[in-house]
Amino acid sequence: MLLAEMTWPRVAALPKHTPVVLPLAALEQHGEHLPVFTDSMLVGEITRRAERELAERILLAPVMWLGNSAHHLDFAGTMSAAPRTYIDLVNDMVENFLMHGFKRIVLVNGHGGNNVPGEQAVFECRQRHRDQDDLLLLFACYWAIGDGEKTSPGFEQTAMGHACEWETSMILALRPELVGDYAAAKDVSAQGAFDPARRGWTTKDRSAAGHIGVPRAASADKGRKLLDRFSGDLVRLLARVVEWDGRGF
């Protein structure tokens, strides 16, 4: 079910154990070859596919396109909420549905910069509602739900980057007319000299062009395979949410 196309009485009449899916994304630079709306386009496609598969079993909200993208602000076209602002925004979106009685909220993330503040928002919300035993709050990146970050035959990358082989491939599959000269993009390693320590960074620290990964290895065929894989992973996760007994961890 698509929230944007429903009347409020119809939403109010839904069983309160219906999972509410909130897609989170961004509007930010994606290198010199991909559109700034890449993250929103991709998580929107993947969640729409899941909604078509699960139909009346889930409620899908519109994509929240404003993300935590401060690390991309050196590149024109990027829009960002400050980290604390973003945490509060996600908190408020979850609280809206809790106020309306819904008990299962799934945040499906499409932008890596949302990971830390998104998980923090879910944590904070759970603490505020710690006495509500039948509440399920989840945060998941679509590319990390299933086997998405395991090596696949024919792929050079084994993990998500930024404007990389994976994202470029998926946009080639969806909107090839929006993709620039990805074959000319130089490889930019996703590895850092201090891994596994976590370094504070901006995208400009790592990449003059704005991408991280191997865009030249992209193809529309790879993109179709990735979209099928990620949407299938999401369907399986949401099916588990639908079937949750309301008690187990």
Q: Could you tell me if 111 and 26 are in contact, meaning their C-beta atoms sit under 8 angstroms apart?
A: yes
**Of the candidates 95, 75, 98, the residue with the CA atom closest to the CA atom of residue 28:** 75
Q: What pLDDT score was predicted for residue 193?
A: 85
Tokens found for residue 229: 């894989």
* Residue 8 within any structural domain of the chain: yes
CATH code of the domain containing 161 = 3.40.50.10310
Model confidence pLDDT, tens digit, residues 180-206: 999 999 999 988 889 899 899 999 999
Q: Could you tell me if 185 and 217 are in contact, meaning their C-beta atoms sit under 8 angstroms apart?
A: no
When pLDDT is cut at 50, 70 and 90, the band that residue 172 belongs to is very high
pLDDT of 148 strictly over 60: no
Model confidence pLDDT, tens digit, residues 206-241: 999 999 999 999 999 999 999 999 999 999 999 999
Reply yes or no: is the peptide bond before residue 196 cis, omega within 30 of 0: yes
**Total-model pTM:** 0.95
Given its phi and psi angles, is residue 210 left (phi above 0), alpha (psi -120 to 50 degrees) or beta? left
* Residue 216 within any structural domain of the chain: yes
Q: How many domains does the chain have?
A: 1
* Residue 249 within any structural domain of the chain: no
Model confidence pLDDT, tens digit, residues 18-72: 999 999 999 999 999 999 999 999 999 999 999 999 999 999 999 999 999 999 9
* Residue 248 within any structural domain of the chain: no
Q: What pLDDT score was predicted for residue 62?
A: 98
210: containing domain: 3-243
When pLDDT is cut at 50, 70 and 90, the band that residue 149 belongs to is low
**Exposed, middle or buried by CB within 10 Å (0-12, 13-18, 19+), for 138?**
middle
